[in-house]
Amino acid sequence: MTSDPALILTEQVNDAPSRKARTTLLRRLIDVVAMPSSRIPPQDRSMAGDILLEMLFDAEEEDRAFCARRLIPTHEAPRRVLRYLGLCSIETAAPLLEQNPSFDDSDINFILRRSTPMHAEAVARRKTLSPSVCDTLVQLGHVPAIREMLASRRSFISETAMDDLMEISRDNTDLCPLLIDREEMTPNHAMTMFWWSGEEERRKILMKYSADRSELIDICGDVFAIAAAEGWSDPVARKTLQLIERRQRNRAAVERSQYDSLEEAIEDAEKRGLNRDSAQEIGHLAGIKPVTAAKILTDPGGEALAVLCKGTGLKRHYLMRLWAALKRPTEIGPGVLHPHYERIREIYEMMSVAKAQTTLRYWNWSLSTSFRENPNDALSADEEASREYSSSRRTARLVFGARGKD
C-alpha cells in the first residue's frame, strides 16, 4: 500500500466514493440561499446559488425535490436556481411553481414555453396570475390549465387573450360558464359566445350584456339627416347608422313583399310551415340580413327567437306562432307549456324592447359584416389587415366556422 497521501486520496475516491459530503454540502448551500436578506449579503447568496445550481445538475431527483420544497417560502432565492427547478419533473416543480413568490413574469413564461402541460396547470394554480402569464397560458392552449386560470379570482386577463379565449371556447364549451363570470368579458365577447353557450349562459348574456343604445342614439341622432341629404350614398355611414337607428322593422320592405306585415308573414309560416322563402321574408320584414335570419331561425336553443320577436315589437303570441312554424312543441298537454318554450317565453318577457333591438342589430351588423359563403376564400390585403382588430369580422369568422388565423 502506498504511503503517498495524494495517491491514498485518489484510491479512496475511486474505490468507495461517498455521497455524504456531497449531500451535506448541498443542504448547506440550500440553507445559505434560503436565508433572509437580513442575514446574508446579496453577493454571497448569488455565489452560493451558482455553486448550488452546478451541484443540482448532478443531484438525485429526490435532492432536487428537497431543494424545491425548501425554497417554496423564500422571497430572495436565486432566479437561475428557481428556473432550473421549475423545469424539473412535475413532482419536483409543481409545489414551487404553485407557491414560490420569487418568480417574476419572465421566469414563469420561460418555464411555460419549455415545459409540459402539467407544468402549465401548476402555474395556473398560482395565487396571482399577471396578464403576461395569462397570455402565455392562453397561447399554449392547454385547456385544463386555462380552466384553472379562469377559475382563479386573482388572474388578470388581457383583451387579446379574451379574444383568443372566444376561439378556444368554441370547441370547449365547458369554458363558457367560467368566461361569462369574468370581469374582463365585454359585450362583443359575450354576444359572440352566445351562439355556442348553454341555456344558463345565454340567459346571463342577454340579461347582463345587452345595451339600449340610448347615448348612441342621442349623440348621433342628427347624423341621420346628414346621411339622408347625401342620399345614403356612403356605405360605411349607412351600415353604421343601421346599427344605431332606433326603428327596427324595415318599412320599405313591405312594399316589395307579398305580405302586408311581419305578423302576416309569421301567420302564413305557421299555417304552411317555415321554408326558405318564408324565412327570408320574415328576415326582410324584420330588418335583418338573410344570413342573420337564417342563423336565428335555425338556432336550436331558441333564445334568439325571443330576441327577434321582442326587438321587432311582436306581441307574445307571435313568438308562439313562430315557434310552432318551426315545428317545435309549445305544450306538453292541454294548457301546460312545454318547458323549452316556457323558458324562451320568459326571456321574451324579461328583455326590454330597447335591449332586444340592440342585441338584434348587433348580431345583424356583426354576422353580416364579413360573412363569406366559403370561409376559406382568400382574403384581400385590407381584409387581412382589419380582421385582427374588427370585432364584427371575428364574430362572423367564429360563428360561421372559419376558425384560427390564416
Q: What is the DSSP letter of 357?
A: H
Element holding 332 (H helix, E strand): strand 331-333
Distance CA 89, CA 329 (A): 56
Q: How many CA atoms lie within 13 A of 157 on its CB side?
A: 28
User: Does the structure show a pLDDT above 80 at 386?
Assistant: no
Give me the helices (H) in 59-130, please: 61-71, 79-86, 90-99, 105-112, 117-124
Element holding 336 (H helix, E strand): strand 336-337
Arithmetic mean of pLDDT, 329-347 = 94
Domain boundaries, the chain: 1-103, 120-198, 247-371+382-399
Q: Which amino acid is at 103?
A: F
Which triple of cell numbers denotes residue 182?
369574468
* Range with lowest mean pLDDT among 63-72, 178-187, 241-250, 259-268: 241-250
Count of Cβ atoms closer than 10 Å to residue 205 Cβ: 23
For residue 331, the SS3 value is strand
Contacts of 82 (CB under 8 A, 6+ apart): 71, 96, 100, 102, 103, 107
Distance CA 132, CA 139 (A): 11
Query: Residue holding cell 369554458?
Result: 175
**Cβ contact 325:269 at 8 Å:** yes
Question: What is the structure's pLDDT at 227?
Answer: 79
Distance CA 49, CA 51 (A): 5
Question: What is the structure's pLDDT at 4?
Answer: 57
Torsion of CA 256, 261, 263, 265, to 10 degrees: -20
* Percentage with pLDDT > 70 across the chain: 84
Global confidence as pTM: 0.81
For residue 31, the SS3 value is helix
User: Does the structure show a pLDDT above 60 at 383?
Assistant: no
* Range with lowest mean pLDDT among 340-344, 359-363, 377-381: 377-381
Arithmetic mean of pLDDT, 188-195 = 94
For the chain, give the mean pLDDT: 87
pLDDT-derived band at 17, boundaries 50, 70, 90: low
Arithmetic mean of pLDDT, 229-249 = 74
**Cβ contact 249:309 at 8 Å:** no
Distance CA 121, CA 136 (A): 12
**Chain-centre distance of CA 373, in angstroms?**
26
Question: What is the structure's pLDDT at 226?
Answer: 85
